[in-house]
Amino acid sequence: FSDPFLNRRRANDFIQADTRLRAITQERIRERSKAPQEHQRELCEDYYPCEMYASRHGYAAAYKHYFGRRRTK
């Protein structure tokens, strides 16, 4: 073996994909699809009265109080 350079096909045979890149990709996919509770909490954190209500009663109750369905007659 006198040639120090390999062609692309031969180089890809022994170089494995970086597992860290795969982990980063999976994390980004999880970030895009948030749980409904997490989305509700973020909405409540952005609205100051809701955040204050949540400090006393919890985020579920605060979200329901400020952003829950409102019944109209």
pLDDT of residue 36: 84
Report the amino acid identity of residue 17: A
pTM of the shown model: 0.51
How long is the chain?
73
Q: Which residue is it, tokens 């019944």?
A: 71
pLDDT, averaged per 10 consecutive residues of the chain (73 residues), comes to: 69 66 77 80 91 93 87 54
Measure the CA–CA gap between 45 and 48, rounded to whole angstroms: 7
How far is the first Cα of the chain from the last one, in angstroms, to the nearest whole number?
Answer: 85
Q: Domain residues of the chain, as ranges?
A: 8-68
Q: State the Cα–Cα distance between residues 44 and 16, nearest whole angstrom.
A: 44
